[in-house]
Amino acid sequence: MSSPSLSAESKNNQSVIVEVYKASIDYAKHLTTLCTGLIVILAAFVEKVFSTPIWKALVAVSIVGFTISILCGVFVHRTLAHSMAAGGKPVPGTDLAGKALVWMLFWFAIGILSLAVFAVRNLYR
Give CA–CA dist 26/31, Å, rounded: 9
Percent composition of the chain: helix, strand, coil (DSSP 3-state, to 5) = 85, 0, 15
Give 11's contacts (C-beta < 8 A, 6+ positions apart).
none
Give 53's contacts (C-beta < 8 A, 6+ positions apart).
46, 47, 59, 118, 122
This model's pTM is above 0.75: yes
In this prediction, residues 41-62 reach a mean pLDDT of 88
The model's confidence at residue 5, banded by pLDDT at 50, 70 and 90, is low
In this prediction, residues 13-32 reach a mean pLDDT of 90
Give CA–CA dist 102/123, Å, rounded: 31
In this prediction, residues 33-37 reach a mean pLDDT of 96
Give CA–CA dist 75/106, Å, rounded: 15
Of 79, 68, 71, 48, the C-alpha closest to 110 is: 68
pLDDT exceeds 80 at position 3:
no
Q: For the chain, which residues make up each domain, given as ranges?
A: 2-123
